[in-house]
C-alpha cells in the first residue's frame, strides 16, 4: 500500500511531467503550455469524438522580440506539412489582432526564432517569422483575408504558407533562408493580444504530414495512408483508419457498411463499424491496382490486375464477397473505371496503338467498342446513375479537364476549364454532383497523376457552374480513383498520405 508521502510524490511527478501524461488527450501533440509570461493561464484540450482541438490562449502578442501565447506542440525533425481548419470560438473578440494558427519554433523560450502562419481576428493573414533569438518579428501578408484553412510547410530552410477561405484554392506566401535547426517544436498557437483576457481557437481536420523525400521512386517506394471520410455539406473530415502501407482507392459498398480498397496487389473490405479490414478472395488474381469498381447493384466487383505476359493491366470481374475472377479483356493495358447501371457494360481505358482511349465492353466479355479517338489521353470514364452520360477526363486541350459525352460516345464536351489538372470524375448516386481530383499545374503535367502531391478534391454541380474545393489533401494517385460516394450522396471516402501517419 502506498504511503501518503508516496502518493504526494507521485502526484507531484505527474504534474511536473503533465505533457507526457496528456498525449492521448492531446491527439497528435505531445504537450501544451503557455509560452512567455504576462497573461492569463491558457489551456488545450482534445475532443477525440470530433477530432477537434480547443485551445484557449492569453498574452499580449506574438510579435516584436518576444511572444506570449498558448501552444500545443510536438517535437519534429526534417521536412513536414501542417494543415488545419481553424476559427475562433467567438466571432467577436476583445482585440482585432488576436491570433491563431500554426507555429514552428526553435524552443519554448519567449524570444525564440520561429515561423508562423497566423490568422488575425480582423481577418488579416500573415506569414510571421523571427530569424534569430530576440530579433524583431517580420511578416509577409497574404492578399486574401479571413482564411480558415491554414497550411504551413517546411522544406529545408524554406517555409511556405498556404491559406484559403474554405471552398477556394490556396494563396501562397513563402520565406527562405531561415535556419531554425533540424529539431523543432511544431504546433498550434492562440494569442489573445491582450494579457487580461483569454481567446479560444477551435481547430479541426488537423494533419501533420511527413511528405515524400526528394528522389522517391514512384511505384517502388510508398508512404503510409489514412482512410478519411469527408462530409460533403460541411467539409468536415474524419480519419477512420491508418496504415504504414499504401492503401488506395476506397469504393463505398452499396449497403454503406464497408469500403473496398486495394493494397499490395490484394483487395480488402474495410468494415466501418469495426474498423478492421479483411482480404477479399480473388484467386490467382493478386496484382490488383487502384482501377476497380462495384456494379450498381453491389453484387459484383470489377478489377484491374497487372499481367505482364498479356501486356499489362487486365480487366476481371468477381463477386463482391470474393471468389474466382472472370477475365474480361484479352489484352492490356486495360484499366477499368465503371459499370453501367443496367449491369451489362464496363468502361475501361485501353492503350491501343500507343493511344489511350475509352472503351466499352460487355460485362461478360466480348468485343470492345472504342468511344473516344482524340489524339490525347482520355481516362477515368464513369457512367451517370441514369446511364445516359459518361464523364471522363481528357488533356486534348492542353490541360487535363473533365469532359462529358453521351453513352454512345457522341457529343463530347468539356465541363471544366482553368488552371488545374482535373482527374477521375465521380457522379454522386443522386445524380446531382461530380467530385474529382485536381492537381496543381505547376507540380504535375497534364498526362500524369502521380502519388504524393498537393491536390484538391473539388465538387461541381452536374448542371454546371464553378467548382468548389471540398478537401485540401496531400495525396494524388490512389486518393480517389474510384467511385467513392456513400450511397446517400452525403460523404466521400478518400486516401491521404504521410511517411509517418498522424491524425
CATH number at residue 94: 2.60.120.200
User: Three-class SS of residue 310?
Assistant: helix
- Residue 338 domain-assigned? yes
pLDDT of residue 24: 47
Task: Give the whole-number percent of the chain exceeding pLDDT 70.
Answer: 94
User: What sign does the CA torsion over 28, 31, 36, 39 have?
Assistant: positive
b/e map of 26-36 (b: 16 or more CB within 10 Å)? bbbbbbbebbb
Over range 5-24, report the average pLDDT: 38
Concatenating the DSSP letter of every residue in 98-133 gives: -EEEEEEES-SSTT--EEEEEEETTS-EEEEEE-ST
* Same domain? 187 vs 297: no
* Same domain? 253 vs 277: yes
Whether 8 has a pLDDT exceeding 60, the answer reads no
CATH number at residue 276: 2.120.10.30
What average pLDDT does the structure give for the chain? 94
Whether 20 has a pLDDT exceeding 60, the answer reads no
* Same domain? 200 vs 295: no
pLDDT tens for 202-214 read 999 999 999 999 9
Q: Which residues contact 499 (CB under 8 A, 6 or more apart)?
A: 210, 211, 212, 213, 223, 224
pLDDT of residue 10: 35
* Same domain? 157 vs 287: no
pLDDT tens for 108-160 read 999 999 999 999 999 999 999 999 999 999 999 999 999 999 999 999 999 99
- Strand ranges of the sheet holding 369-370, from the earlier edge strand across to the other edge: 334-339, 345-352, 355-362, 369-370
pLDDT tens for 297-313 read 999 999 999 999 999 99
- Residue 93 domain-assigned? yes
Do 478 and 215 form a contact (C-beta atoms < 8 A)? no
What distance in Å separates the CA atoms of residue 134 and residue 183, rounded to the nearest whole number?
Answer: 19
Over range 483-501, report the average pLDDT: 93
* Same domain? 43 vs 134: yes
User: Three-class SS of residue 4?
Assistant: helix
* Same domain? 34 vs 122: yes
DSSP type of residue 411: S
- Residue 53 domain-assigned? yes
- Residue 6 domain-assigned? no
Dmax over CA atoms of the chain, in Å, equals 85
User: Three-class SS of residue 69?
Assistant: strand
pLDDT band at 500 (very low <50, low <70, confident <90, very high): low
The set of cell numbers assigned to 380 is 477515368
pLDDT band at 32 (very low <50, low <70, confident <90, very high): very high
User: Three-class SS of residue 375?
Assistant: coil
* Same domain? 168 vs 241: no
Report in angstroms the alpha-carbon separations of 32 from 21, 123, 210, 345, 502: 11, 26, 21, 57, 18
Number of structural domains the chain divides into: 2
* Same domain? 167 vs 310: no
* Same domain? 204 vs 255: no
- Cβ burial of 308 (10 Å; 0-12, 13-18, 19+) is exposed
- Residue 432 domain-assigned? yes
pLDDT tens for 142-154 read 999 999 999 999 9
User: Nearest CA to 58 among 13, 3, 95?
Assistant: 95
Domain boundary among 181, 209, 237: 209
- Residue 9 domain-assigned? no
The set of cell numbers assigned to 208 is 501533420
158-164 and 149-155: which strand pairing?
antiparallel
158-164 and 99-105: which strand pairing?
unpaired
Phi and psi (nearest 5°) for 118? -125, 135
DSSP type of residue 267: E
* Same domain? 466 vs 345: yes
> In 232-311, at which residue ranges do the beta strands (DSSP E only) sit?
237-243, 248-252, 258-263, 266-271, 276-280, 293-294, 300-307
User: Nearest CA to 310 among 327, 325, 286?
Assistant: 327
pLDDT of residue 389: 98
- Residue 219 domain-assigned? no
pLDDT tens for 436-489 read 999 999 999 999 999 999 999 999 999 999 999 999 999 999 999 999 999 999
Whether 21 has a pLDDT exceeding 70, the answer reads no
- Cβ burial of 12 (10 Å; 0-12, 13-18, 19+) is exposed
Report in angstroms the alpha-carbon separations of 112 from 36, 135, 333, 394: 10, 9, 56, 50
Residue 395: domain span? 224-498
Whether 14 has a pLDDT exceeding 80, the answer reads no
* Same domain? 359 vs 458: yes
pLDDT tens for 358-410 read 999 999 999 999 999 999 999 999 999 999 999 999 999 999 999 999 999 99
> What distance, in Å, lies between the first and last C-alpha atoms of the chain?
39
Domain boundary among 180, 209, 238: 209
- Residue 448 domain-assigned? yes
* Same domain? 179 vs 267: no
What distance in Å separates the CA atoms of residue 344 and residue 340, rounded to the nearest whole number?
Answer: 6
337-343-349 Cα angle (round to 5): 20
Domain boundary among 185, 209, 233: 209
pLDDT of residue 418: 87
Phi and psi (nearest 5°) for 133? -60, 130
Amino acid at each position: 500500500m502506498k504511503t501518503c508521502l508516496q502518493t504526494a510524490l507521485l502526484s507531484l511527478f505527474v504534474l511536473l511531467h503533465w505533457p507526457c501524461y496528456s498525449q492521448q488527450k492531446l491527439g497528435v501533440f505531445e504537450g501544451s503550455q503557455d509560452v512567455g509570461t504576462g497573461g492569463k493561464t491558457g489551456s488545450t484540450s482534445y475532443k477525440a469524438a470530433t477530432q477537434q482541438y480547443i485551445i484557449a490562449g492569453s498574452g499580449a502578442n506574438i510579435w516584436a522580440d518576444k511572444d506570449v501565447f498558448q501552444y500545443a506542440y510536438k517535437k519534429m525533425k526534417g521536412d513536414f506539412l501542417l494543415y488545419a481548419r481553424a476559427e475562433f470560438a467567438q466571432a467577436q473578440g476583445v482585440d482585432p489582432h488576436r491570433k491563431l494558427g500554426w507555429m514552428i519554433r526553435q524552443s519554448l523560450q519567449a524570444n525564440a526564432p520561429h515561423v508562423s502562419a497566423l490568422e488575425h481576428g480582423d481577418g488579416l493573414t500573415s506569414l510571421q517569422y523571427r530569424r534569430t533569438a530576440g530579433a524583431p518579428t517580420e511578416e509577409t501578408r497574404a492578399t486574401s483575408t479571413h482564411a480558415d484553412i491554414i497550411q504551413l510547410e517546411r522544406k529545408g530552410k524554406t517555409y511556405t504558407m498556404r491559406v484559403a477561405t474554405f471552398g477556394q484554392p490556396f494563396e501562397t506566401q513563402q520565406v527562405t533562408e531561415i535556419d531554425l535547426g533540424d529539431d523543432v517544436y511544431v504546433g498550434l498557437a492562440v494569442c489573445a493580444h491582450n494579457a487580461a483576457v483569454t481567446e479560444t481557437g477551435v481547430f479541426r481536420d488537423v494533419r501533420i504530414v511527413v511528405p515524400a523525400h526528394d528522389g522517391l521512386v514512384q511505384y517502388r517506394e510508398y508512404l503510409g495512408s489514412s482512410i478519411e471520410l469527408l462530409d460533403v455539406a460541411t467539409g468536415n473530415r474524419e480519419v477512420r483508419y491508418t496504415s504504414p502501407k499504401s492503401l488506395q482507392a476506397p469504393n463505398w459498398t452499396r449497403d454503406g457498411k464497408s469500403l473496398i480498397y486495394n493494397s499490395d496487389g490484394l483487395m480488402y473490405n474495410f468494415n466501418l463499424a469495426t474498423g478492421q479490414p479483411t482480404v477479399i478472395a480473388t484467386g490467382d488474381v493478386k496484382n490488383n491496382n487502384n482501377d476497380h469498381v462495384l456494379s450498381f447493384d453491389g453484387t459484383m466487383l470489377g478489377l484491374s490486375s497487372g499481367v505482364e505476359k498479356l501486356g499489362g493491366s487486365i480487366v476481371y470481374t468477381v463477386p463482391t464477397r470474393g471468389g474466382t475472377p472472370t477475365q474480361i479483356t484479352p489484352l492490356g493495358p486495360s484499366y477499368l473505371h465503371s459499370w453501367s447501371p443496367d449491369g451489362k457494360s464496363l468502361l475501361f481505358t485501353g492503350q491501343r496503338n500507343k493511344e489511350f482511349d475509352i472503351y466499352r465492353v460487355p460485362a461478360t466479355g466480348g468485343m470492345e467498342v472504342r468511344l473516344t479517338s482524340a489524339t490525347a489521353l482520355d481516362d477515368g470514364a464513369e457512367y451517370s446513375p441514369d446511364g445516359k452520360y459518361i464523364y471522363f477526363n481528357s488533356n486534348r486541350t492542353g490541360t487535363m479537364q473533365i469532359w462529358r459525352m453521351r453513352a454512345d460516345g457522341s457529343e463530347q464536351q468539356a465541363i471544366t476549364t482553368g488552371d488545374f489538372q482535373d482527374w477521375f470524375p465521380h457522379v454522386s448516386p443522386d445524380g446531382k454532383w461530380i467530385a474529382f481530383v485536381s492537381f496543381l499545374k505547376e507540380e504535375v503535367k497534364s498526362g500524369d497523376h502521380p502519388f504524393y502531391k498537393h491536390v484538391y478534391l473539388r465538387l461541381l454541380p452536374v448542371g454546371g457552374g464553378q467548382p468548389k474545393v471540398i478537401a485540401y489533401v496531400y495525396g494524388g494517385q490512389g486518393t480517389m480513383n474510384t467511385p467513392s460516394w456513400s450511397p446517400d450522396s452525403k460523404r466521400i471516402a478518400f486516401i491521404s498520405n504521410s511517411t509517418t501517419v498522424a491524425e
